[in-house]
Structure 1
Amino acid sequence: MKKKRIAVIGAGPMGLAVAYQLARDGHKPVLLEADDRIGGMAATFDFSGELLERYYHFHCTSDLAFFKVLDELGLADKMHWKETKMGYWFQNKVQPWGNPIALLKFQGLPLIAKLRYGLHAFSCTKGNDWHKFDKIEATSWIKKWVGAKAYEVLWKNLFEYKFYQYAKALSGAWIWSRIRRIGRSRYNIFKEKLGYLEGGSTTFLQSMADDIRVRSGEIRLDSPVGKVVIESGAVKGIEIHGRFEPFDSVISTIPLPYIPSIIPDLPPEISSQYKALKNIAVVCVIVKLKKPVSDNFWLNTNDPEMDIPGIVEYTNLRPLDSHIVYAPYYMPGEHPKYQDPDEVFATKVCTFLKKINPTLTNKDFLDLHISRYRYAQPVCGPEFLNSLPPYSLPIRGLWVADTSYYYPEDRGISESIQFGRNLALKAMA
């Protein structure tokens, strides 16, 4: 079989996985990344001496594709597991959450609502067929199971403070898969178990990059693709910084909303499909503290003074010298709030943390960082896959995908790795 020279656009986990598989199969991938670092949403930065992800990540026991790569790279011993806790900030106090005892003791819900909520969560963890939820709108499905009161207390903020005007346009299958993934990453029904990689995401990102390079692959940073050149129904190459470079094939893994601008010669009906897709942006506030806010990894919030659905206390999973809290603000990128300056988000989050833990003072706040990502999460409506063009486009040598294509699974490192490796195999078949 002829070994091909392939351009892979985007060095997030999916793009890395594509290039990794291609290089291992003897091809010569050239991985092109517009950013100054690899990783996409898993990329890391220097947070006053601590190498940290710009957006929090964790691993579940079901992340088999990720574990396979760790084995191949000799990193399996870098994986660590920890029992984590979940809490709920409601009625001005942190309440235990995430297990049957906590549910029964939760203050603010009648018993019947608790039982209905528990039955719904349990049923989601036991099923395997997502197709029966694919045509269902998520909020109506959840309300039918748990009732209006439990929805208002436990679910409404999670929908409305992430998806805003799209909150009632989400797929039941997409929500089901999120409940199922977390529910299955447990020691038992009472204890949650999550994993972290020693050194964080940079450990496997750099190892994948090294493996690509040693097998004759190439990684170019600060290399935004200006155009994918198509002639006579086939890919000819790409333009970078105004210069043409020939390639046998092109595989794009960047967010789909960018595709119409970098591949302007697509058939109009395909371009219109990409343009019709909706996406959620994120403004992620990361705070470094002298002491913890709580003993929870997850802390959901339902408070009229807090316009976020929760925080993630990362160091209650992965131990570091200081205490790290992520407060992600998700919202449609066109929402006016996304244009607010960083200082607005920083001030609000610091106020929220002090309210949750009144012992925190200004001296406990060591540093703060804000990351923004315009296309962080596709809005997955009912029958979402039907809205996507095929990832094998009717252009010879052109393949286009992003995290949308492993619906109903939510975006995740393991899912991106599995899809990316399979995409590489199919593209070269």
Structure 2
Amino acid sequence: MNKQRIAVLGAGPMGLAVAYQLARDGYHPTVFEADDRIGGMTAAFDFSGLSIERYYHFHCISDHAFLMMLDELALADKMHWVETKMGYWYQGRLQPWGNPVALLKFKGLSLAAKFRYGLHAFLCTKRNDWKPLDHVEASGWIKRWVGAEAYEVLWRRLFDYKFYDYTDNLSAAWIWSRIRRIGRSRYSLFREKLGYLEGGSETLLQAMRADIEAHGGEIRLKSAISKVVIEEGQVRGVEVAGHIEMFDKVISTIPLPYVPRLMPDLPADILDSFRLINNIAVVCVIVKLRKALTGNFWLNTNDPEMDIPGLVEYSNLRPLDQHIVYVPFYMPGEHPKFAESDQVFLDKVRSYLKKINPELSDEDFIELRSSRYRYAQPICDPGYLDKLPPVALPVKGLWVADTSYYYPEDRGISESIGFGRKMAKDAMV
């Protein structure tokens, strides 16, 4: 066992992946997590007898780092692949979506607009080099490809109801990666295949935790770090519960906006870089129903009475005893809507679901819950990665990253695992 003492901040998938790799490589990581459970945005909660994630997750056939870890933890047989469907709620009508036939039959678009939209989506799945898109603004890029008509019907509300004031300054590379990931989840032009893990993400999280501890690592819950102690250009330790613990190295995976508060002794230019990062917040309502809402996993929405870009009917992917729907409300954390009460969002969701499926009655709503996450996703503007400090900061023994650092990929469990394991390897060179 290597005697270096290493602190890992955050027990989300990236932090657990860092600790997993360190422990397997013979080091002794100590993971500090402010929450009372591991998982971060993948953490589960007790939904009146159903253990389920607070925020929805799914897996694609391209999630190589995730699938590799399942093999290592002997969990591959817990993974199941399902043919899923998409729908589009537009002009008060539920329409099929997500394949060429659905696009051709879609009511509300001209044939030319459909062709341009389909061509753009197809070419995005074939592109591998994102660098030419890195400094390109996304909404203008999409409009040039699909035209004003298709942008207005199929894209504008997605941008407006997720990014609000940031809509006109997003990276085209970042948006392209999202189109490509879903496009490549298909095993034919007409069929989409997504995956779920038996027991949800909790199955993987607990297996990672057990493996970390079996290899000598430690995970401390309800242990918020108040400061990373830096002296004479190197890490000395962390302050937790009013006292300082000495560590040789610190690897932080907490959201970057927290870094200036926890590491105030970093160089001023680096602190400024972290302070300039903007994030989307989310209020996610999860609903337990007696009957299905639709037959779709994804449902995009374009409705003037709904301030959401879509919803996920999770039980159409993972079989459950009740029907489960996630309805995420994304917005900048400083937006006034984020300060509204949970009841406001719960009431909205009831009305939205009853509009989409008029057969739903009040009695069909078994339960609704709301969760909030202030730093759910970085807002990636053109050239985003160039503006971030290096992962290995100019402080001996200190590494800092979160989901921002695998730009242009969208946040995801697999990406976090892959990046976390690589960061652990790089930190111990």
Inter-partner Cα distance in structure 2 for 1:178 and 1:380: 12
Which residue of structure 2 lines up, in the alignment, with residue 413 of structure 1? Answer: 413
Report whether the alignment pairs 1:224 with 2:246: no
Contact 2:13/2:413 (<8 A) preserved: yes
Q: How far apart are 1:3 and its partner, in Å?
A: 3.9
Q: How far apart are 1:4 and its partner, in Å?
A: 1.6
Report whether the alignment pairs 1:188 with 2:188: yes
Which residue of structure 1 lines up, in the alignment, with residue 278 of structure 2? Answer: 278
Q: Residue 270 and residue 411 in structure 1: after superposition, are their counterparts in 2 closer, same or farther (change >3 A)?
A: same
Which residue of structure 1 lines up, in the alignment, with residue 17 of structure 2? Answer: 17
Which residue of structure 1 lines up, in the alignment, with residue 57 of structure 2? Answer: 57
Which residue of structure 1 lines up, in the alignment, with residue 5 of structure 2? Answer: 5
Which residue of structure 2 lines up, in the alignment, with residue 75 of structure 1? Answer: 75
Inter-partner Cα distance in structure 1 for 2:355 and 2:49: 28
- Tell me the TM-score normalised to structure 2 length: 0.99
Q: How far apart are 1:2 and its partner, in Å?
A: 4.6
Inter-partner Cα distance in structure 2 for 1:10 and 1:246: 18
Q: Look up the SS of the partner of 1:264 in the other structure.
A: coil
Report whether the alignment pairs 1:84 with 2:84: yes
Q: Match of 1:72, as an amino acid?
A: E
Q: Look up the SS of the partner of 2:295 in the other structure.
A: coil
Inter-partner Cα distance in structure 1 for 2:17 and 2:157: 34
Which residue of structure 1 lines up, in the alignment, with residue 390 of structure 2? Answer: 390
- Tell me the TM-score normalised to structure 1 length: 0.99
Q: How far apart are 1:390 and its partner, in Å?
A: 0.5
Q: Match of 1:253, as an amino acid?
A: T
Report whether the alignment pairs 1:202 with 2:202: yes
Q: How far apart are 1:91 and its partner, in Å?
A: 1.0
Which residue of structure 2 lines up, in the alignment, with residue 118 of structure 1? Answer: 118
Which residue of structure 2 lines up, in the alignment, with residue 132 of structure 1? Answer: 132
Structure 1 consecutive aligned stretches of length 4 or more whose deviation exceeds 6 Å: none
Q: How far apart are 1:104 and its partner, in Å?
A: 0.3
Q: Look up the SS of the partner of 2:206 in the other structure.
A: helix
Q: Match of 1:214, as an amino acid?
A: A
User: Gaps (5+ residues) in structure 1?
Assistant: none
Contact 2:295/2:316 (<8 A) preserved: yes
Which residue of structure 2 lines up, in the alignment, with residue 319 of structure 1? Answer: 319
Inter-partner Cα distance in structure 2 for 1:168 and 1:36: 38
Which residue of structure 1 lines up, in the alignment, with residue 291 of structure 2? Answer: 291
Q: Look up the SS of the partner of 2:296 in the other structure.
A: coil
Which residue of structure 2 lines up, in the alignment, with residue 168 of structure 1? Answer: 168
Inter-partner Cα distance in structure 1 for 2:112 and 2:32: 54
Report whether the alignment pairs 1:264 with 2:286: no
Inter-partner Cα distance in structure 2 for 1:2 and 1:315: 45
Q: Look up the SS of the partner of 1:228 in the other structure.
A: strand
Inter-partner Cα distance in structure 2 for 1:42 and 1:279: 18
Which residue of structure 2 lines up, in the alignment, with residue 379 of structure 1? Answer: 379
Inter-partner Cα distance in structure 2 for 1:185 and 1:301: 21
Which residue of structure 1 lines up, in the alignment, with residue 159 of structure 2? Answer: 159
Report whether the alignment pairs 1:43 with 2:71: no
Inter-partner Cα distance in structure 2 for 1:252 and 1:378: 16
Inter-partner Cα distance in structure 1 for 2:132 and 2:192: 27
Contact 2:2/2:28 (<8 A) preserved: no
Contact 1:44/1:54 (<8 A) preserved: yes
Which residue of structure 1 lines up, in the alignment, with residue 399 of structure 2? Answer: 399
Inter-partner Cα distance in structure 2 for 1:320 and 1:139: 38
Contact 2:2/2:26 (<8 A) preserved: no
Q: Look up the SS of the partner of 1:308 in the other structure.
A: coil
Q: How far apart are 1:241 and its partner, in Å?
A: 1.1
Percent identity reads 69
Which residue of structure 2 lines up, in the alignment, with residue 366 of structure 1? Answer: 366
RMSD value over aligned CA atoms? 0.7
Q: Match of 1:346, as an amino acid?
A: L
Report whether the alignment pairs 1:242 with 2:242: yes
User: Gaps (5+ residues) in structure 2?
Assistant: none
Q: How far apart are 1:242 and its partner, in Å?
A: 1.0
Q: Match of 1:38, as an amino acid?
A: I
Deviations 1:39-83 (A, max 9, x none): 000000000100000000000000000011000000000000000
Report whether the alignment pairs 1:179 with 2:179: yes
Q: Look up the SS of the partner of 2:245 in the other structure.
A: strand
